[in-house]
């Protein structure tokens, strides 16, 4: 059975998606944005007070990488908190009155399911690659943002690999992965409304923003740094958990083809990647006892960014 303080398997997340969207129909609706490689439906939740006109929106996704289990746990927590605090928490109420929040609870569903059944440390999608038995592409190297670019004289792409057996394989072309294509198509279709793109990963305790495919600073670098630092200090205010913020390339490593850089270059100015707990003691195997505190502190950071975006519409 589904629990917010456990790591739920994909079938449990799927029935949770159906149950929560039918029981709160004034505030939440679901839509399919396509299917995964293995044919599972990708269901997007839309949170917000119903309106006759199109509202500005925030896009939030979790579970791009299969083994980062705390990430889908956060998206589920976010939906629960949004629904249960609407009407009592003034910030959440005003957010969902003025804006919509699109939540994709698990991006890489095939990979997530595989980590529950076969290999806990799987990262990529589960698609076939021609000429090799190695499966999968890194869904965070598959976007059209300096895709698999070779920097300098070396034949290696920045933080991405041309080798299908690598965990950071960039794919045969950008958007080769149907999951990436489905989400990119949705964001392109709705790009005039989408004001912020937030993507949740683990681990390392970071708030990252563009760029990762280049060391060049984003046009809005100072503002993004200010917002990221504000989010990190909001997060820290609860339990003292320390997050570092900065542009991806300089803060973790250069890595081309990521969703945050793609969204930013499309025109979504407030584009952030979160790397949740911890800093390496448990890594991807974060104990279930840390789900609740991690989600509670992360809520403060996400709500900080949402409030900033709302104020600057």
Q: What is the three-class DSSP state of 212?
A: coil
* Least distance in angstroms from the C-beta of 251 to ligand 0X9: 9
For 304, the enclosing helix (H) or strand (E) is helix 291-311
251 binds, among ligand 0X9, Zn ion, none (CB under 5 to 8 A by kind): none
Per the structure block, which two tokens stand in for 220?
Answer: 């809005």
Question: Which span sits near ligand 0X9 by CB under 6 A: 111-119, 179-187, 248-256, 305-313?
Answer: 248-256
Residue (43 or 168) nearer to ligand 0X9, CB: 168
* Whether the Cβ atoms of residue 200 and residue 74 lie closer than 8 Å to each other: yes
* Least distance in angstroms from the C-beta of 67 to Zn ion: 8
Of 85, 113, 109, 89, nearest to 35 by C-alpha is 109
* Whether the Cβ atoms of residue 110 and residue 40 lie closer than 8 Å to each other: yes
Whole-angstrom distance, CA of residue 84 vs CA of residue 74: 15
Of 290, 267, 265, nearest to 279 by C-alpha is 290
Residue 180: other Cβ atoms inside 10 A: 27
* Least distance in angstroms from the C-beta of 72 to Zn ion: 12
Question: Which span sits near ligand 0X9 by CB under 6 A: 150-158, 181-189, 225-233, 254-262?
Answer: 254-262
DSSP 137-176: --TTS-SSSSTTPBPTTSSSBTTBBS-TTSTTB--SSTT-
Whole-angstrom distance, CA of residue 6 vs CA of residue 104: 18
* Least distance in angstroms from the C-beta of 54 to ligand 0X9: 28
208 binds, among ligand 0X9, Zn ion, none (CB under 5 to 8 A by kind): ligand 0X9
Whole-angstrom distance, CA of residue 232 vs CA of residue 112: 27
Whole-angstrom distance, CA of residue 214 vs CA of residue 197: 19
Interface with ligand 0X9 (CB under 6 A), residue total: 14
Whole-angstrom distance, CA of residue 110 vs CA of residue 112: 6
Task: State the binding string over 212-241 for ligand 0X9 (x if CB under 6 A, else -).
Answer: x-----------------------------
Interface with Zn ion (CB under 5 A), residue total: 3
Task: State the binding string over 58-77 for Zn ion (x if CB under 5 A, else -).
Answer: -------x--x---------
The reply to whether 261 sits near ligand 0X9 by the rule CB under 6 A is yes
278 binds, among ligand 0X9, Zn ion, none (CB under 5 to 8 A by kind): none
Which residues, other chains included, contact 214 with Cβ-Cβ below 8 Å and sequence gap of 6+? Answer: 146, 151, 158, 249, 254
Question: Which span sits near ligand 0X9 by CB under 6 A: 95-103, 114-122, 250-258, 304-312?
Answer: 250-258
Q: Identify the residue among 55, 201, 269, 277 touching Zn ion (CB under 5 A).
A: 201
The reply to whether 258 sits near ligand 0X9 by the rule CB under 6 A is yes
Residue (68 or 81) nearer to Zn ion, CB: 68
The reply to whether 247 sits near ligand 0X9 by the rule CB under 6 A is no
Q: Is 175 a catalytic residue?
A: no
Q: Of the residues 81, 275, 288, 297, which is catalytic?
A: 275
Phi-psi region of 134 (alpha: psi -120 to 50; beta: other; left: phi over 0): beta
Which are the catalytic amino acids? 275
Query: Which spans of this chain sit near Zn ion (rule: CB under 5 A)?
Result: 65, 68, 201
Interface residues with ligand 0X9 (CB under 6 A) are 65, 68, 140, 201, 208, 212, 248, 252, 255, 258, 260-261, 273, 275
């Amino acid at each position: 059975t589904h629990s917010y303080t456990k790591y739920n398997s994909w079938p449990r997340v799927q029935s949770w998606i159906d149950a929560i969207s039918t029981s709160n129909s004034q505030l939440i609706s679901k839509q399919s944005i396509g299917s995964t490689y293995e044919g599972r439906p990708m269901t997007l939740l839309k949170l917000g007070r119903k309106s006759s006109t199109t509202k500005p929106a925030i896009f939030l996704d979790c579970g791009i990488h299969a083994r980062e289990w705390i990430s889908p746990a956060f998206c589920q927590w976010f939906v629960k908190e949004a629904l249960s605090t609407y009407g009592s928490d003034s910030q959440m109420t005003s957010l969902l009155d003025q804006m919509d929040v699109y939540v994709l609870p698990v991006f890489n569903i095939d990979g997530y399911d595989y980590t529950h059944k076969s290999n806990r440390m799987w990262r990529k999608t589960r698609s076939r690659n021609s000429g090799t038995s190695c499966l999968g592409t890194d869904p965070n190297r598959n976007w059209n943002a300096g895709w698999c670019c070779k920097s300098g004289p070396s034949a290696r792409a920045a933080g991405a690999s041309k080798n299908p057996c690598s965990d950071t394989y960039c794919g045969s072309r950008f958007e080769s992965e149907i999951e990436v294509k489905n989400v990119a198509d949705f964001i392109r279709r709705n790009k005039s409304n989408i004001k912020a793109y937030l993507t949740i990963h683990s681990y390392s305790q970071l708030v990252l923003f563009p760029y990762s495919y280049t060391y060049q600073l984003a046009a809005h670098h100072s503002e993004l740094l200010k917002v990221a630092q504000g989010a990190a200090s909001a997060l820290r205010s609860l339990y003292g958990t320390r997050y570092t913020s900065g542009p991806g390339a300089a803060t973790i490593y250069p890595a081309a083809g990521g969703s945050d850089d793609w969204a930013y270059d499309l025109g979504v100015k407030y584009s952030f990647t979160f790397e949740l707990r911890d800093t390496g003691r448990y890594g991807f195997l974060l104990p279930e006892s840390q789900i609740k505190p991690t989600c509670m502190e992360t809520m403060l950071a996400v709500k900080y960014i949402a409030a900033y975006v709302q104020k600057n519409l």
